[in-house]
A and B are shown apart, each in its own frame.
Chain A
């Protein structure tokens, strides 16, 4: 029988959200890379071009969701890696605080960038 191992306590809310965001990110990360390297080459990106893309409401919402899910998935992944390495007690609480604040700042700054590019 195949063995199964994971850093996560299977069945918890964080476990589920890590996988739900993964399913979303698989599609959107591939789209983002393809769109901004193969459709529009990275060297040709301009403020005006970014603005045209961001002014499409669907694209704007997709990018904000991309930011929020990527920030959660990445920071939760780091947190679980630290727990897996044996972090406990006050160190675990400090990690929760630092990672929580860092992800919040990242999302706030990312939304500021998105709204600036969209011209909202």
Chain B
């Protein structure tokens, strides 16, 4: 059984030194969520070049992928997506009332696993661009 909890206004970032692991998880989840929805609009805009013809679509994607900065941004996007997925799974368990006592440890595990997956993926994402 859960209880209501007055956590104060998390948007008052002047309180950041008081934030617990759960509050940092909340902030990171919102932050990565904002990036992902922003990216979704950008992604559909780029893919919309398909409406102008096959060569425009292919040339646009190849042109973007030839830019080193875009490859690094994709690594950043991977980090954001992986954290949002892993913390999302954590939140689904929390909502089901499972692992509430370990919710801080599962947040740290999400961070560590995100870091490991992103580092292991760097060669794939930068392959051919360096």
Q: B17-34 CB contact bits vs A (8 Å, 1 = yes)? A: 000001000100010011
Q: Establish whether residues A2 and B129, one from each chain, have CB atoms under 8 Å apart when the complex forms.
A: no
Q: Bound complex: CA of A70 vs CA of B78, how far in Å?
A: 16
Q: Establish whether residues B44 and A4, one from each chain, have CB atoms under 8 Å apart when the complex forms.
A: no
Given contacts A29-B81, A42-B65, A43-B65, contact A2 B100 (CB under 8 A): yes
Residues of B within 8 A of A38 (CB): 121, 124
Give the total of A residues in contact with B, Cβ under 8 Å: 42
A110 within 8 A of B: yes
Give me the interface of B with A, judged by CB distance under 8 Å.
2-3, 5, 7, 10-11, 22, 26, 30, 33-34, 36-37, 40-41, 44, 47-48, 50-51, 54-55, 57-58, 61-62, 65-66, 74, 78, 81, 85, 88-89, 91-92, 94-95, 100-101, 103, 121, 124-125, 127-129
**Quick one: closest A residue to B48, CB to CB?**
A113
Give me the interface of A with B, judged by CB distance under 8 Å.
1-6, 19, 22-23, 25-26, 29-30, 33, 37-38, 41-43, 45-48, 50, 67, 70-71, 74-75, 77-78, 81, 84-85, 102, 106, 109-110, 112-113, 116-117
